[in-house]
Amino acid sequence: MREDITRFVDEIAKLTEPKNVVYITGDEAELAAYRRQLVEKDVAIPLKRKNSLLFRSDPEDVARTEGKTFICSEKEIDAGPTNNWRDPKEMLKHLKTLFKGSMRGRTLYVIPYSMGPVGSPLAKVGIELTDSLYVVINMAMMTRIGTKVLDALGDDSFVPGVHSVGCPLEEGEREPPWPCNPEKTCIAHFPETRQIWSFGSGYGGNALLGKKCFALRIASAIARDEGWLAEHMLIMGVTNPEGKKRYFCASFPSACGKTNLAMLMPTLPGWKVETVGDDIAWLRWGPDGKLYAINPEAGIFGVAPGTSHVSNPQAMDTIRHDAVFTNVALTDDQDVWWEGMTKEPPKHLIDWRGEDWTPNRPQKASHPNARFTVSAAQCPSIDPDWESLSGVPISAILFGGRRSSVTPLVYEAFDWEHGTFIGASVSSEMTAAAAGTVGKLRHDPFAMLPFCGYNMGDYFGHWLNVGKAGKVIPKIFAVNWFRKNESGEFIWPGFGENSRVLKWIFERCEGAVEAQESAVGLLPNIDDLDSEGLDISRETLERLLTIDPKEWAEEVKELRSYFKIFGERLPEGIKRSLDALEDRVSEHAAP
Ligand code: GTP
Ligand code: SPV
Ligand code: MN
């Protein structure tokens, strides 16, 4: 074992005082023993699905807590106006008090993990120290873990991460079903020294440190320094009926459709979608001047509610076995259920809080941010090149959000600079993926609002710069599956029908179809959006594909006021695009 690793482990063990320290090897027998242990301790409920477990979290620990997530750069301005900043020295002092003795009575697990295929030149290694077995078994699916990672590390650096649920156990005290410490939750990132400390929460991105903490917040800072991009994006392969394949990335905020799009079953005959990643992409220019993407993750931590054999059959097939479920409902025959899985709910369930549930109950049976964890390799639509060491070449990048109005179904950016502006301009109605007010519209640039490890203004600038370095520049598109009518119903069917939009994007990449210039970008001609076999009126299609200059004049005003928060860090390219948009919108609005 490398001396700096044992020193790190010893130092944290001295601080947190666990009863023992265990190095995770990643061996399947070892992980199976942990799963058994979790069941024996009544922490997990075994399911009738093979090797699958159900966990119920504490009701105070159900989603990422953005208000308790901090970026601790030396200077406040380097965290920027969209992050919670803390002075690194003060934060470290605070963390030392929080973690003092926090693992008493527990085991400290050492998880070496690789973000990206082991041995890929694009992969990076982290070491998470945690006192949560739930984290161990989830990290084993979400990342590549264990001895093989240490073997491949060589002399390279690693990102240290320390995680504690903040619930020391006294002698003879029984393990609570979901240990956590919500009052003291604190998720701290040190982008300059590349460290992560997470205290008090056992849930998702708060605790599985490879995901948002490393692969986005720390990696975005590394990527800025090294000239690449760490993004909240799915990666998908799209093959047309002639057999030509292109790869797309798509950036949507949390719970806005990445997993669903990445696993989409096209309704259009002859089209095929394959999955490379469903949440995070690391992108950089290849030697041939094309943009290449790898999925740094190895698993899927997917939103359960709304997932069904109709909406996402590939996900349903992926989770048939060897899956972990958190905060879903339990059926009388030891299986899982959630809202939207079937039209009719079962007659009786145990809900996510562990209480009896019948359909007349007003409460939801599963939590809106209930999740499944599963190895991506189990996904039937997994792309043959999903673990390619050099990544897959990207033809198009899609930006989207949940907008019940204003934003059309799809449009194309004029160029990279305009595309960067589109990414920076994303707003989206909030979801249950993070603590906050569901449905409230907020700016979420590049779907990175909670995940950018440095000043978001500098991040816009980095995007503009990256675009100058490539030879084959991907096209950039905006999409919105979430337009609603006056009665609050979605007017676009979404899910598999989104293949119609993918087809138009594909054809634009091929240069096979024209687009019409509008104030906001290049829109499809209505007849070019394949609506064959779709039960949708011409009027609705027009509504989905036209721009209302009055709404957009408001949008521009709102954006101008929003971008002010970046002050001097707002790059010229964004200002230029905003001015140009304003001019075009007022021209179109003129009588
Ligand atoms: P994170 O894992 O939080 O990053 O979420 P995600 O972006 O992967 O979102 P996901 O695909 O899990 O979808 C979230 C919710 O949006 C689910 O309840 C889906 O059923 C719903 N959803 C996904 N795609 C569509 C769509 O095309 N139309 C509509 N109406 N809903 C969708
Ligand atoms: C998200 O919120 O964007 C997720 C879930 O993908 S979590 O891992 O909790 O961040
Ligand atoms: Mn996500």
Q: What is the pLDDT of residues 401-411, one digit of tens each?
A: 999 999 999 99
- Report the distance separating Cα 105 and Cα 541, nearest Å: 61
pLDDT tens digit sequence for 305-339: 999 999 999 999 999 999 999 999 999 999 999 99
Residue 532 CA to ligand 1 center (angstroms) comes to 24
Supply the pLDDT for residue 591: 59
Overall average pLDDT of the 172-195 stretch: 96
User: Ligand 1, closest atom to CA 262?
Assistant: 11
Instruction: Look at strands 195-199 and 186-190 and give their pairing.
Output: antiparallel
Q: Is 256 a catalytic residue?
A: yes
Average pLDDT over residues 422-436: 95
State pLDDT tens for residues 524-583: 999 999 999 999 999 999 999 999 999 999 999 999 999 999 999 999 999 999 999 999
Expressed in angstroms and rounded, the spacing between residue 120 Cα and the centre of ligand 2 is: 25
CB atoms within 10 A of CB 149: 24
Q: How far is the CA of 279 from the centre of ligand 3 (A)?
A: 5
Please measure the distance between the N-terminal and C-terminal CA atoms of the chain and give it in whole angstroms: 73
pLDDT the model gives residue 588: 81
d(CA 260, CA 265): 9
Looking at the CA of residue 232, tell me the nearest atom of ligand 2. 3
Whether 363 and 329 have beta carbons less than 8 Å apart is answered as: no
From the CA of 232, give the closest atom in ligand 1: 4
3-state secondary structure of 534: coil
Indicate the pTM of the whole model.
0.98
Give the mean model confidence (pLDDT) for residues 18-42: 97
Structural domains of the chain in order of their starting residue, each with its CATH number: 3-226 (3.40.449.10), 231-299+383-589 (3.90.228.20), 301-365 (2.170.8.10)
66 CA distance to ligand 2 centroid (A)? 11
67-97 pLDDT, tens digit per residue, is 999 999 999 999 999 999 999 999 999 999 9
Q: Is the pLDDT of residue 589 over 80?
A: no
290 lines ligand 2 (CB under 6 A): no
Kindly tell me if the per-residue pLDDT of 128 is higher than 90.
yes
**CA–CA separation, 98 and 307 (whole Å):** 38
Q: Is the CB of 563 under 6 A from ligand 1?
A: no
Is the distance from the beta carbon of residue 368 to the nearest atom of ligand 1 less than 6 Å? no
- Considering only CA atoms, which of 445, 414, 408 is closest in space to residue 428? 445
Quickly count: other Cβ atoms within 10 Å of residue 152's Cβ. Answer: 17
CA 142 to ligand 3 center in whole angstroms:
13
Active-site residue, from 256, 379, 452, 509 = 256
pLDDT band, very low/low/confident/very high, at 439 (cuts 50, 70, 90): very high
* Mean pLDDT within 207-213: 98
Place of tokens 């011409």: 538
CA 332 to chain centre: 32
How much is the average pLDDT of 341-349?
97
pLDDT of residue 301 exceeding 90: yes
Ligand 2 lined by 68 (C-beta under 6 Å)? no
Closest CA to 196 of 111, 281, 300, 283: 111
Grade residue 119 by pLDDT with cuts at 50, 70 and 90.
Answer: confident
- Minimal CA–CA distance to 54: which of 43, 69, 66, 70? 43
Q: Are 573 and 418 in contact (CB under 8 A)?
A: no
Shortest-distance Cα residue to atom 15 of ligand 1: 255
How many Å apart are CA 204 and CA 211, to the nearest integer? Answer: 8
- pLDDT one-digit tens code per residue, 259-268: 999 999 999 9
Could you tell me if the CB of 433 is within 6 A of ligand 2? yes
Q: 412 φ, ψ to 5°?
A: -110, 145
Quick check: CB of 257 below 6 Å from ligand 1? yes
Percent of the residues in the chain that have a pLDDT greater than 90, as a whole number:
97
The predicted model gives 216-232 an average pLDDT of: 98
Q: What is the pLDDT of residue 196?
A: 99
